[in-house]
Chain A
Amino acid sequence: MSADFLYTIEVILNGLMAGVMYSLVALGFVLIFKASGIFNYAQGVMALFAALTLVGIQTGQIPFSHLINAIFGTNIHHFGWQVPTVLAIALTVGVMVVFAIIVERYILHHLVNQEPIILFMATIGLAYFMEGFGDIMWGSDIKTLDVGLPSGGSRWLEDYTLGWAAEGEQYYGMYLDKLDMVASLVAIVLVVSLTIFSQYTTTGRALRAVADDHQAALSVGISLRTIWVIVWSIAGFVALVAGIMWGAKSGVQFSLSLIALKALPVLMLGGFTSIPGAIVGGLIIGVGEKLFEYAIGPMIGGATENWFAYVLALMFLVFRPQGLFGEKIIERV
């Protein structure tokens, strides 16, 4: 096997793993959009907020310490204890649920049957709010998130693949980040369980019913409001997982919220309403942009990731407006 070929494989594998992460984020969007027709721009910030909270609780930070210090001239920051990761995660989940409830109670509830664009704007407002809020609550400094996930390249794989290259070629074996692998595994598990949840549980079915029409949902016997809370909670949970993965990888900081932007092309590709679409779309985008960067990037100055996904999705959409799995839109006259 030629080295180039192996490199390509490596790139593809990396792409796939990145793709899984994209899907993970995209999933958050899809869930909310399906259930409430809201394009929740805040999804990314939710991930950031979740990660911040997790770190905060873990390291026993005092919430709002900066603010307090600014006002009372005190100088406090930590309780001085550590919270075990599992408990911390549990607590964070709790926080996200509370968050979901607040969002439903104080925002969505007042915006029912507004045009989509209004709701969209509202979520952008929400994003701004939470960004500021998160920073004030936990501080805006870059934090390292350690939930005991492995990191670094996988030696085993390197050694294993070392000999694959053809004779006389420089090849040091295949490099894959452990974290990425774990992340992909987690993501896959999550995706599968979510799919099962929405397919085989009453609540899940109710959620899908809402997507189709609200009356139907009510007839299932679950109030719209509860459904929305549930959905936003799940989205919050997904955000948390995404936050952990990305946070563990590249630290918890503002840029984390930008993963939302990563997920958008995935949505275009997969459609706003389709879970499988989100997954496949994610993989396509992941592989696509890695390959493009690998093959063409160098020629045009690199850093193509931040737009290639969009252009790819755009091209695709122009030929198939309803996305990968989105149901065909027939214009009723």
Chain B
Amino acid sequence: MFYRESGDFKKTYQKDSQTFPIKFDRMRYYFVLAVAFLVIPMFLTDYMANAVMIPFLVWAIAALGLNILVGYTGQLSLGTGGFMAVGAYATYKLMTAFPGMDMVSIILLSGLITAAVGALFGLPSLRIKGFYLAVATLASQFFLVWLLNKVPWFYNYSASGQISAPQREMFGVIITGPHATPVAAYIFCLVFAVGLAWLARNLTRGRLGRSWMAIRDMDIAAEIIGVNPLMAKLSAFAVSSFFIGIAGSLFFSVYLGAAEVTEAFGITVSFAVLFMVIIGGLGSIFGSFVGAAFMVLMPVLLKNVLVGGMGWPTDLAAHFEYIIVGGLIIIFLIVEPHGLAQMARVLKEKLRLWPFPH
């Protein structure tokens, strides 16, 4: 209905293969960016920042990472929590070891470290497929958590076994530690989220991305056109873990501030992120964001309604939350197994065809 495509023709391959070939979509995209960077910061309350926006961005990054692995490469993984933990602890160690180092490099480094670990745990994927692999990735989940919990060096021998982020600044603004300003933290995360989304788009649209999807869709055919399964899968694990590591890093340093591996990065985290990816839509960058938004917003809403609105005891509300989350997931899978992104795609097609039905 809103699409006017006459006269929007492409004279070069750059233009033809851009991310948003249709003018209307392009405009919408820029609009969203503008709002995210300029408008939201002006009205952002601390609560909104800490309860909604920052977690949303962090989870979105994690979802992006997992989507690269599950959605684009077809390798089911339940190790997300473990990898996030690696990112978090890497950040902690780096922050404490090199107080002078700036946050950006620290976070990127943590990402790289996680990537290395991820690649290592990706090795079995060569021999193992499907659910066997899924379960195998649980191994990394449990092992990593156990390791980070058992070896005191990782949490600098702190008695509580906790790690807590020291205060750090960017451009003179405090972004980590107890005195961080939420808006600054939000912008900081936003920059990463947008940057990484852009990165993900570039990787998935090119040679590497196609090799991933080839492996996903038909690994035999992929191999005969020259895709080396080892490289494809390991690169997917590495890149995916890079994203997840960064997510973990931000999760700890900017969002939580302090964390204890077993409760912050348990298996529930792995599932939560997997939900985001499935609900958002496998193999869709946009989907990763929507999925994250959904999984972050719903509990907040429920809490506000049940506890705030109806004055129920929190534990009861928590149980209800489980019921509703579980129920919604099932309903989603039944209504649209390919996730919100697919719904969006269908809607868009309908609008482009409007007024015609098909």
Contacts and interface: CB of A to CB of B under 8 A. Distances in A.
Complex contact flag A–B (Cβ < 8 Å):
yes
Contacts of A189: none
Interface in B308-338: 312-313, 315-316, 318-330, 333-334, 337
Contact of B329 (A110, A125, A136, A319): A125
B interface majority secondary structure:
helix
Interface in A97-127: 107, 110-111, 114-118, 120-122, 124-127
B131 interface: yes
A204 interface: no
Interface residues of A, number: 51
Interface string A51-85: 00000000000000011001000000000000000
B150 A303 contact: yes
B131 A118 contact: no
B76 interface: yes
B129 A127 contact: no
A321 B132 contact: yes
A261 B337 contact: no
A136 B320 CA distance: 8
Interface stretch (B40-48, B83-91, B138-146, B165-173): B138-146
A156 interface: no
B274 interface: yes
Interface in B326-357: 326-330, 333-334, 337
Contacts of A22: none
Nearest to A301: B150
Contacts of A66: 313, 316
B316 A318 contact: no
A331 B150 contact: no
Contacts of B319: 131-133, 135-136, 140
Contacts, number: 141
A122 B323 contact: no
B138 A132 contact: no
Contact of A132 (B70, B275, B320): B320
A144 interface: no
Nearest to A263: B135
Nearest to B334: A110
Contact of A140 (B143, B315, B326): B315
A229 interface: no
A317 B146 CA distance: 21
Contacts of A133: 319, 322-323
B10 interface: no
Between B123, B135, B321, B324, the greatest number of chain A beta carbons within 10 A of the residue's beta carbon is seen for B135
B321 A114 contact: no
A39 B131 contact: yes
B205 to A, nearest CB: 24
A333 B324 CA distance: 44
Contacts of B116: none
B136 interface: yes
A128 B322 CA distance: 5
B139 A126 contact: no
B337 to A, nearest CB: 5
A125 B315 contact: no
Nearest to B221: A333
Nearest to A37: B131
- Top 5 closest A-B pairs, CB basis? A132-B322, A129-B326, A128-B326, A125-B329, A310-B139
15 contacts: A39-B131, A67-B316, A121-B278, A124-B275, A125-B330, A128-B322, A128-B329, A132-B324, A132-B325, A140-B319, A272-B131, A317-B124, A318-B127, A321-B127, A323-B132
Given A121-B333, A129-B327, A133-B322, 8 more contacts: A70-B312, A118-B333, A125-B325, A131-B322, A131-B326, A307-B146, A314-B136, A317-B124
